[in-house]
Amino acid sequence: MPRQDHDDDDILNVDDELVVLLERATQAYKDGKYSLSLRIFTKVLDTDPFHKQALFFKKKIDRLAGTGEIELRTMSDEDVCSWCDGEGLCVRCGGSGRCPKCLGEGFLENLGKSCRHCRGTGQCQRCFGTGSCFRCEGSGEEPDVEERPCPVCDATGDCSVCYGNGKCRNCMGEGWNNLLDEPCSHCQGEGTCTACDGNLKCQVCSGKGKISFSDME
Ligand SMILES: [Zn+2]
Ligand SMILES: [Zn+2]
Ligand SMILES: [Zn+2]
Ligand SMILES: [Zn+2]
Ligand SMILES: [Zn+2]
Ligand SMILES: [Zn+2]
């Protein structure tokens, strides 16, 4: 296709130093803007079979960046998130956000009880149901900080099930099921929050309100 060849030559003149091989590109939507992170692997030689492809993508990206709709950032290997390798996706659930143990059901059929792995939420506990890599928040870039606010308790450190009051959410601490007129089956009549066992702390951050990446690795 000669026409396309001509277009490609145009871009080569614009910037032949920075040719981006789009092997990895991640998109994140934040603050009303799409940001596109590109991983520059190598300068692509014009003898490289990917050369044309790379130029084509570069042109497309330059155009998008020119509209102001995306913010363009380029990454070197050191900047790439060490968890997701720049993909931006949660490696545990593959981006689905579902708990891999119960497949998002929150319930284990074979055991007949709620999934302990996700505490019955059905959400992946690595990304907390977002599907994005927790370390880089989906940007694909290695973050500067070593910890992030706990998304489960909203950084309060309180148990997310009883909101820090220690009471069973099913019977409100009564220990009794008034409808059935029998002890609450959820807490075995104890009235205590089954998620935190009455210690009031967020189960994910242990009450610290933040999660350090090393805790999760
Ligand atoms: Zn689960
Ligand atoms: Zn996940
Ligand atoms: Zn990441
Ligand atoms: Zn927490
Ligand atoms: Zn609790
Ligand atoms: Zn109860």
Ligand 5 center–CA 24 separation, angstroms: 41
d(CA 88, CA 79): 13
Burial class (CB in 10 A: 0-12, 13-18, 19+), 80: buried
Q: Which residues surround ligand 6, an ion (CB under 5 A)?
A: 168, 170-171, 184, 186-187
Q: Three-class SS of residue 146?
A: coil
Ligand 1 center–CA 2 separation, angstroms: 55
Whether residue 64 has pLDDT greater than 80 = no
Tokens of 188: 């075995």
pLDDT tens-digit series, residues 98-143? 999 999 988 887 777 788 888 888 999 999 999 999 998 888 888 9
pLDDT band at 3 (very low <50, low <70, confident <90, very high): very low
d(CA 76, CA 186): 51
Q: Three-class SS of residue 148?
A: strand
d(CA 2, CA 10): 13
d(CA 21, CA 54): 5
pLDDT band at 150 (very low <50, low <70, confident <90, very high): very high
Ligand 4 center–CA 201 separation, angstroms: 8
For residue 118, which ligand has an atom nearest its CA? 1
Ligand 1 center–CA 191 separation, angstroms: 24
